[in-house]
Structure 1
């Protein structure tokens, strides 16, 4: 609302004051960013995003994207208004209608699916099988011991429906505002055997997400370097909850360049049909 009124949003003003003025992307980062054809992790007002699906799609089109995966939360995450199976079914119909209007741009059907404590995914197999992109993420019991968290993540990575392992450490670097006005404290990384999990990602063809949200920047650089070493594929995503946040991919590209991520291993550099061939393979 502040931006619409021609004002500098308070949130942006605070960030600029704390972290300095925005600077253009370095040439190598800008080149990497230009290779991305879409974003595989974004939320709408169907779960905890702030904007309708159409507005998110139109913002992606404005950035030059060819596609955007709509990955609202799964039902277990009630605090984020996660989608029940019935609501997800309705969303699929809405996306189909929008895709007819917005072609050749494509909204890919998807979900950010909670990884349950036992490693299963928080949605029915039938529905997961109908989606274009499944991002599997841990949102609960983040302080579990390393052995338990490793087994949980290994089970999710091995699930044939999982395409992308989302924000793998679950860390929060800086506080962020909560809907009810409380502030969330910085959160340390979850403990797990990263080598085992990333090796499983390679084995099962699951991409490791490079989460571009400023408060996440997940995985940390040391783990990102390990994932590169082990041969992982990657998805550079924004985890956007508002249209303006779709421009955060530059953050992930900076980290990809810094750690030597080969651009050909980033799955969202692929055209939509090729991406879908990968995700359904």
Structure 2
């Protein structure tokens, strides 16, 4: 009886399934998924994108129709029988990357510390007129400003204003943030450190209509810059070419405004968090 229980337990481990981060694809760029061992695609693949298995451990993705809804691609490891559920979404700017896929494990932790009231900070910075502008850019009737650079609970926040004075609506595809050297030597590899906001009040599908203006707030873990570095902010238009590129430089961080919002009540619940090291991206 004990032997049977052990066999069932080991079989259960071998057929575990893991959720992965999103793989972004477009019609112009091919996204590649690399696996450490031989894999196969299970189930049907949607007709909106092309899936090709180039090698045992290499699968490529490319979009056919840009308007498909987010779906999950199920891929099984032939050695361990583990199933990876990889969400696939259309995005012009984030497509065309090499993605290494590996297993993950869940860790149960107890949160007992006060939680930063990010919504209160976002509402405070989004209200009122823009001020203390650190950078601005304009293209095709669309203009963006970085302003209200602030520090709250050891986190860095800023406001991004977007105004549209063209007749054509401006659909926001996504906004990318990364730290890079201001000057790069020709023929040398450029090192980029991509950072992800821990807070954003930007909706997934945001459109700025003619003569309209929006103010969105982003928050990050505290970061620092050297004199020859900048935080780059890339704003991409969905199905268009009116992309905006803004920067926050080291000198802009010297005059951070301090915000002291009231913290939320301490949370006392069990949460499962995925190991962030399981899914690495490289351009």
TM-score norm. by structure 1 comes to 0.23
Larger radius of gyration: 2
Of Structure 1 and Structure 2, the greater helix share is in 1
Higher strand share: 2
